[in-house]
Structure 1
């Protein structure tokens, strides 16, 4: 062995010492996450920070990410606008004040923009969307929306173009608060989160701002939020009295507002869907409250069989990152897996899961208000393989604890998404690409809704619902002939609707139109529901595996389908008009529209000429009704898609 000279040996030792020092620093940094996150020269809002500490019941219910609030000379904190900090005991914020704060934030920070959702709530309240990112990103917001839109449709983007778009683009991470009105913490937390993202200058927050765009819906159920605050304030003002119960949160809807993903009957669901189709976010994160202390969703399975397996993997990637990072920080009771299954697509966050994005949720421990309460933790508190760091058996729980837990975990997920910007954008593109290839690789080829429907109005409404979900629907230009799986010929007339499976949202369409076969040996599902649209609407729908259907002449439907009804028979038609009872829901609407008109209902089937009429058909006699009956009836049936026959 060659002997080292003294100078060389000294240099060698110095290099080794430097190397091990670097390893020690790195290891210490890994063990102490705050060292890379907290800017030592940052100036905090001391008054706000003191209240965070006061309202947090134990040190293990906070992290270095949220145990302080950065100060700003120009941008107002929630306390400066509302008079109290997020998570203040006995204080909940009305929708109008939530919105007032976000508008003040946007007015004073170029890193924040506020948009109004397309529809107002059923009671006339606005729903807001807030965007937070670096100023340079928000200036180019339309460009980043264009990028995600192009990645969402690989039919217009090849792989080389996609690589360039992924390199340029920023993922959208969308957090949505309080769809369930009794789950009160997330709107308060989102106030502070937006401020923190806008003003804090730590490398951790800068990463989120620079490499992603955060979207925030402060409260989704805006009507129910205000009712909940009213009831809570009544309880505080009238101790010992029974407070009014909330039979409904929104207009005739309560907890089931998060089961509207199939019907999209509520303005809040339609707003989420339309906003998704405008921004194409990579993550939609729905914030809930129930079990201790913070559950981050993955589900136990059986998982929805129509989802791309990649999205299920992404649920786990994000959830285990949060669990690991929160556990490293000494926070108890953060876990995943054992809460719901992941089967039914009726939840709001299927706005994302059904469209090649990541839909996920939290359940954070809450007290159903803003009280600080001693709680005995019973359910979901035992140690298990998926919950090795279980919640404490007894706890003093505050709204501020809730704010700390949600905000810390959410920041960790947002930072991870920003750090892995290209991975999430690439997966988004890849899932879209795999969806377009579904007809060729997995099947079926299409679904056909025959044009000779006995219920054309229901068929049209089903088509319009699919279109609202972003699913493309085509109309046949001529007769279609295909083979079924038994090689038997099937024929469909011109005008039949076709839902192709070679489109970006084929998985959502397949999910909605296929038949579910739940394994009887699996555990009872979290939501015991079925959802086949054709069956739900009593509309014949045919699953087609013959790839020839994709070559048939058809045209894309570009606006909602409207079936025009008609009144047949001469102007001086006989003594009555008959409307067949074919289970169209608009028959009930007709009865209300013609509320002053006398209408009889047939108790048995009958025949007029060559036409059969079912039991339940409407018989409207001219005698005893308005002399203007024909005009009124014709206007009503034309609008409702019904056919009235003069006899």
Structure 2
């Protein structure tokens, strides 16, 4: 009896101790989605909006000790941008400690391997799972809702393990978009009529679908918020980005990805992507969820930097992407015969069937749990490996190192084989040269390797320096701020610095590559060398997933030096975003003030000066040609001194007005073309106008069709996808913008969607028959039009003598576009020559880097010059590629990409490259700004005066 009593006491004590030691073992009862929303997440015809999500998450936070809600900032429309942190109650009590461990391992500075191992043992895996970035892909936000609920409510052993081993960051990536899309879908009382078709505007205020193209630039509020969490606060080892939709005939695309991967990031990145991808695919098969495709099952790769999951690669993080079918309105998986044969890209095909939203929720939860499972089981390795990758970067940046690229390999092959290499194309999946793919015999010597691939002159830079005396240092400062927002360490000189044979003035920026995020530094400064991805000799190029070349320093026109050795001198590490270095008014003259045209921010100054009623002119000729002149008034000195200090633009006080001709500037009536549903190029231009303080009005096709445009506007701006194609258009531009509804011409939308009265004035489309005659009349009446990218087709619609340069003569003498097998230039950076004597090119050097995406290229017809049409920028080389991929680039030589064309009393400026693409190429913004301020001015070679219309 005594023994039995003792055993019972001991058992009771063990139970009490176990309960005390595991307070998270049983979750308290929390409100289910059905009880809160009135439906289960994934029910047909049901969506929650962001307002409801916020309320629900706050309720769960109050009810569950497993959840902490954090506002990471405000959205573009001012909503709270929320992140739910999910982990065990014990872990949540020590969040600061675990955050510090994650940061120390990610930065990898001052740690030994043994210390890193101990930190990995002590730390918790940090996993980021998001949803809702592309708001019409409604699965993303709703699987996030369901995942958060399950993790705070389930008590199974696996969930407990996740909570104990992992800190999960659940991030809603686009709150504004969820509010718009869900409200639009749910506005119909009859479920059968609910549809996401024909949204009235972009689902991000400015960017629409391009909200996932902003991550190295951080223009958007949401991007800035998320980058701060990823790269300056939490440093997750795994970043999982949910998207839709899966390829036809499947349910989901999941990692691994197809080649190529980027040559800058650590080899551990693609290895761990494959590792997690295998775990995800394995769990799908185990749970009987077929239809998951990988690798070449879709177009996704790991080459491009700039998306939510891809930027992580350049920060030693494992970025994951799934693209999953699903819609609250039931759908059908089609029968695609080729998707019924299993292979390494599709292990388990799925049969055609009716598909419900809840099934997609379940697939997403399985994928999430697969990621959490491997993060939990292998947490120490994930934590240690992010340290090891960072350490590798620091070591590479502190010694001689080389980045091997396709061009260098091709040159080496030709040298080793005596010119018998694979030719111009590096054919995808070709066998190794010399060994026939058998790993023996052939090949070159170690001496050849050293000579060809270890040339000291080809070493990677150890330091990049941005001199503070460059012409547009405020833009260079913006570039530095983009790096700071993505966690890059920056120093600034506090005294003149002598290095590399020159002296850099105080305030210059110094970026060392010996830091954990070296891959991102290299990717922002150095040209991308995309391989010639040709599936077979003579075949058409395989398009990259996004851009092939995007070097941000090139796009922004930043002047920098590469140094092959480290530098020492007086400098300090910068903390926080940098303001432009304050400038001063130089000189003692009292007649007026001169402002350089070389600085983009000069246009902010001009817009403020005009708004303040100051007298501003543009110097047309003489030694100060291209500068801006502000005539002195009693109030002017104080105004320009403040502008110089705030904007960092230099101002010179003059004793007398400029000697040359001037044209007086005034505030202009700017119309920015857009359409119902929204245009991403127009949205980015709207963002740009707001940043540079241009007053403007958004103009829809009905307003253009109504005519009398000269009474309303001085200048009309047509971003890249607004004007329909016309004869003579060059090149083959990419697809139209996504992220909104898309235009249509009646009050009844597609799929029977009725458009509310408040949007009726936005309907319609620009047409050759109705709109173009009104635009021609506007030009003839003295108006100015700036057309960008594919909208330069307006020239052909107006019948101007401008032809397609990218054409060749067939045997019958007809001109035909050059085939894609011969010529293909996806998003890349090319160099063009510029006539900077033309006022629309004032402020430019004689060459400029432009962003080019299979953009139009022109020739001028023989009579063009007689009509006053002039080239402004053109290709003056058979090899203009600066960064990216330009298959058959020799065809570009001599082609024109910017044109100044008089039409009646007005002026048409054509800029074929994407001069405002995603608000990133600051180096070409002045083309747009100049074109706007030339509105109403007489074109060279034509009768007229410099006076504009009042």
* Bin of the TM-score, shorter chain as denominator length: 0.7 to 0.9
Between stretches 589-598 and 489-498, larger displacement belongs to: 489-498
Once the two structures are TM-superposed, the CA of residue 91 in structure 1 deviates from its matched residue by 1.0
Find the counterpart in structure 2 of residue 257 from structure 1.
211
Q: What is residue 631 of structure 2 aligned with on the other side? A: 621
Sort the Cα spacing of 1:554 and 1:632 in 2 relative to 1 into closer, same or farther, 3 A: closer
Measure the CA separation in 2 of the matches of 1:445 and 1:263.
23
Select the residue among 141, 165, 168 that pairs with 1:214: 168
- Confirm or deny that 1:638 pairs with 2:645: yes
Would the aligned equivalents of 2:259 and 2:302 in 1 still touch at CA under 8 Å? Answer: yes
Note if 1:455 corresponds to 2:455.
no
CA 329–159 in structure 1, closer or farther in 2 if over 3 Å, else same: same
Which ranges in structure 1 are unaligned for 5 or more consecutive residues?
1-69, 484-488, 608-612
User: What is the distance in 2 between the residues matched to 1:312 and 1:148?
Assistant: 21
Q: Which of 270, 293, 301 is the matching residue for 2:224?
A: 270
- Which structure exhibits the higher relative contact order, with contacts defined as CA atoms closer than 8 Å and separated by 6 or more residues? 1
Match of 1:233 among 178, 181, 186: 186
CA contact (8 A) 2:280 2:370 kept: yes
> 2:508 matched to which residue of 1?
496
Task: Tell me the CA shift for residue 300 of structure 1.
Answer: 1.0
- 568, 573, 593: which one aligns with 2:608: 593
Of 326, 332, 347, the residue aligned with 1:366 is 326
C-alpha change, 1:400 and 1:491, in structure 2 (3 Å) is same
CA shift in 2, pair 1:189/1:379, >3 Å: farther
Summarize deviations over 1:335-370 as a string: whole Å, max 9, x none: 221221211101122442222211111111123xx1
Change (3 A) 1:245 1:312: same
Could you tell me how far 1:179 is from its partner in structure 2? 0.3
Matched, 1:510 2:464: no
Say if 2:121 is the partner of 1:167: yes
Corresponding residue for 1:26?
none
Tell whether the 8 Å contact from 1:95 to 1:222 is kept in structure 2 after alignment.
Answer: yes
Q: Which moved more, 1:91-100 or 1:332-341?
A: 332-341
- Deviation of residue 423 (structure 1)? 1.1
- Aligned residues, how many? 554
Structure 1 CA distance for aligned equivalents of residues 578 and 146 of structure 2: 44
CA distance in structure 2 between the aligned counterparts of 1:578 and 1:232, rounded to whole angstroms: 55
**Alignment of 1:567 onto 2:585:** yes
Q: Secondary structure at the match of 2:543?
A: coil
1:503 is displaced (CA, Å) by: 1.3
Residue 509 of structure 1, CA deviation: 1.0
Q: Which of 307, 320, 342 in structure 2 is aligned with 1:347?
A: 307
- Distance across 2 between alignment mates of 1:600 and 1:431: 54
Matched, 1:131 2:85: yes
What SS is found at the alignment partner of 1:597?
coil
Q: Select the residue among 556, 578, 597 that pairs with 2:594.
A: 578
Q: Give the 5 Å matches for 1:599-618.
A: 599-604=616-621, 606-607=622-623, 613-615=624-626, 617-618=627-628
2:109 to 155, 170, 173: 155
State the match for 1:180 in structure 2: 134
The residue that corresponds to 2:493 in the other structure is: 476
Tell me which residue corresponds to 1:558. Answer: 575
TM-superposed CA distance for 1:202, in Å, is 1.6
- Once the two structures are superposed, residues 106-151 of structure 1 have per-residue CA deviations (whole angstroms, 9 ceiling, x without a partner) of 111111111111x201111011111111111111111111111111
Whole-Å separation in 1 of the counterparts to 2:338 and 2:200: 27
1-structure distance, mates of 2:123, 2:244: 33
Distance 1:374 1:360 in 2: 26
Pairing 1:381–2:388 present: no
CA–CA separation in structure 2 for the residues paired with 1:379 and 1:569:
77
Alignment of 1:315-334 (within 5 A): 315-334=273-292
Equivalent runs, 1:42-121 vs 2, <5 Å: 74-117=29-72, 119-121=73-75
State how far apart, in whole Å, the 2-side matches of 1:221 and 1:353 are.
22
Judged with a 3 Å threshold, the aligned counterparts in structure 2 of structure 1 residues 509 and 223 are, in CA distance, closer, same or farther, namely: same
Partner residue, 1:283: 238
1:519: how far off? 2.3
Native 8 Å contact 2:133 2:140 kept in 1: no
Contact 1:175–1:285 under 8 Å retained in 2: yes
1:614 Cα offset (Å)? 4.7
Structure 1 counterpart SS, 2:489: coil
Q: Distance in 2 between matches of 1:568 and 1:379?
A: 74
TM-score (norm 2): 0.56
Secondary structure of the structure 2 residue equivalent to 1:504:
coil
Question: Who is 2:562 aligned against?
Answer: 543
Q: Which runs of 5+ in 2 are unaligned?
A: 1-24, 402-459, 535-541, 655-950
Q: Secondary structure at the match of 2:80?
A: coil
* TM-align CA RMSD: 2.4
